[in-house]
Amino acid sequence: MPLVPDVHQAEPIPEAARAALDALLSSGDLFRYTAPQDAPVALLEAEFAALIGSKYALAVSSCSAALFLSLKALGLPRDARVLIPGFTFAAVPSSVVHADCVPVLCEVGENYRIALADFAARLEQDIAAVIISHMRGHTSDMDAIMALCEARGIPVIEDAAHSLGTTWHGRNIGTIGRAGCFSFQSYKMINAGEGGILVTDDADLLARAVIMSGAYEHNWRKHEGPKGDNSPDLETAFARWQNRLPLYNLRMSNLSAAVIRPQLPELARRVAAGRIGHDHVAARLNASPHLSVPAKLPPEMRAPDSIQFNLVGLSDDETHAFAAAAEARGLKVQVFGMSTDNARAFWNWQFLADLPELPRTRAMLMRACDVRLPVRLSRSELDLIADILLAAIAEVTGADRAYGT
Ligand SMILES: *Cc1c(COP(=O)(O)O)cnc(C)c1O
């Protein structure tokens, strides 16, 4: 029997990282603000901004730190209400709490995207800012969301932690709102173990975030705008905020930047491979009447390194039996709402003072399954994963094992 691939194993770091890491180890120059210019972190910021199509980038210690700094940089007052989706990673409500704001949750539909009518209704409830979480890369309707928020002057922050390479009308996710935040944690498209980056076109927001990230004294001088941009916006903004903001010290180390930079040229290949692999498995799963991979929205081009699908017409017991049947065949399937500790199930965010009920989101989470599909998997490994899922659903529903083969 072929071996089930380890879906938690990352891709190797490109060879080119070794020389950069060796140079850093010999010089000991690990702090981003020691070198007068061209520190690896500063080079990463320039390269990432150019790659993604935004004016400015600020590399930090995690995507959670980037989300926190975005909220702080908006200058929201204490207890400001921030609207977030009810389906996201616990880091998102946590960043709101960390910024002394109050998370307000909205419903998410069974296609894992924000339920727009509920979003629009809650937007009227004294909302000061919005975080859109493109959960597992699933992009909510950004045209509708931006129109609703712009009409009310409400700033939008995009949590694109797990969406690097996803586009909306050809534009990179994370560049549509006022700020976008990405993660370099190991389970994301680019792996540095830990790390994050904030992108924006707003010089004032960038300047505030840079200073609060820990650019003490005049270290902000080592942050620049895009090449060829001679406008004084950034310099003016830094001068405006000098000595007026707390320093949270959420900087990125040169070591992380040296691991990330050689992966940037790999991104296009990883995105293309991930999409082909995902769509192949999705087509096979959709052949079963009991498995449903929701369609993407038309303007979206996905960049998946995992697959999500809903179990159709199964009871709670059958849902548990399906996960057990897959595990018995060597594949771990996570049903978001079925474990006692899943950090993406809103009822487990018990650190929130006011934990709301979201019936629609809850119903989705009780049947939504999550399987990692690292972009390095071969066609036969992807087929093996699809075979296991189809065999598991056939076992549970007693249906013909030949579905989709
Ligand atoms: C991973 C992830 C985060 C947190 O990223 P860190 O870099 O680990 O802080 C936030 N939101 C989503 C949707 C994620 O997938």
Contact 349, 96 (CB under 8 A): no
Q: Is the pLDDT reported for residue 366 higher than 90?
A: yes
118/353: higher pLDDT: 118
Which residue has its alpha carbon closest to ligand 1 atom 3? Answer: 161
pLDDT of 402 strictly over 80: no
Q: Mean pLDDT over all residues of the chain?
A: 96
pLDDT at 234 over 70: yes
* pLDDT of the residue at 230: 83
Q: Looking at residue 379, what is its pLDDT?
A: 97
Q: What pLDDT does residue 405 have? A: 46
Q: State the CB neighbour count (10 A cutoff) for residue 79.
A: 9
Residue from 70, 162, 306, 342 to probe ligand 1 pocket by mutation (most atoms less than 8 Å from CB): 162
pLDDT of 248 strictly over 70: yes
Residue 385 Cα to ligand 1 midpoint, Å, equals 25
Half-sphere exposure of residue 131: CA atoms within 13 angstroms, side-chain side:
40
> pTM higher than 0.85, yes or no?
yes
CA of 161 to the centre of ligand 1 (A): 5
Sign of CA dihedral 238, 241, 247, 250: negative
Position 351 scores a pLDDT of 95
pLDDT at residue number 353 = 87
Q: Is the CB–ligand 1 distance for residue 159 below 6 Å?
A: yes
pLDDT at position 325: 98
Site of tokens 């060879």: 15
Q: Percent of the chain beyond pLDDT 90?
A: 93
pLDDT of residue 3: 82
Q: pLDDT tens, 40-58?
A: 999 999 999 999 999 999 9
Task: Report the percentage of the chain scoring pLDDT > 70.
Answer: 98
What is the per-residue pLDDT across 57-95, written as a single tens digit (0 to 9) for each?
A: 999 999 999 999 999 999 999 999 999 999 999 999 999
Average pLDDT score over residue span 197-217: 98
Domains within the chain, CATH numbers bracketed: 16-265 (3.40.640.10), 266-397 (3.90.1150.10)
What distance in Å separates the CA atoms of residue 277 and residue 336, rounded to the nearest whole number? 22
Q: 67 alpha carbon to ligand 1 midpoint, in Å?
A: 9
Which residue's CA lies nearest to atom 13 of ligand 1?
A: 135
Q: What is the model's pLDDT at position 404?
A: 46
Query: pLDDT, tens digit, for every residue of 388-401?
Result: 999 999 999 986 54
Lowest mean pLDDT among 262-266, 314-318, 350-354: 350-354
In the prediction, which pLDDT does 246 show?
Answer: 98
**Would you say 335 and 366 are in contact if contact means Cβ atoms under 8 Å apart?**
yes
Angle at 129 between CA 174 and CA 78, to 5 degrees: 130
Distance 64 CA to ligand 1 centre (A): 6
Pairing relation of β-strands 102-106 and 81-85?
A: parallel
Determine which residue's CA is closest to atom 2 belonging to ligand 1: 161
Q: What is the average pLDDT across 300-315?
A: 97
What is the pLDDT confidence band of residue 2, given thresholds at 50, 70 and 90? low
pLDDT value at 156 more than 80: yes
pLDDT of residue 9: 85
Taking the centre of ligand 1 as the mean of its atom positions, its distance from the CA of residue 233, in whole angstroms, is 30
89 pocket-lining for ligand 1 (C-beta < 6 Å): yes
Encoding tokens for residue 228? 């060829």
Per-residue pLDDT, averaged over 230-238, amounts to 93
Give dist(CA 184, CA 127) in Å, integer. Answer: 30
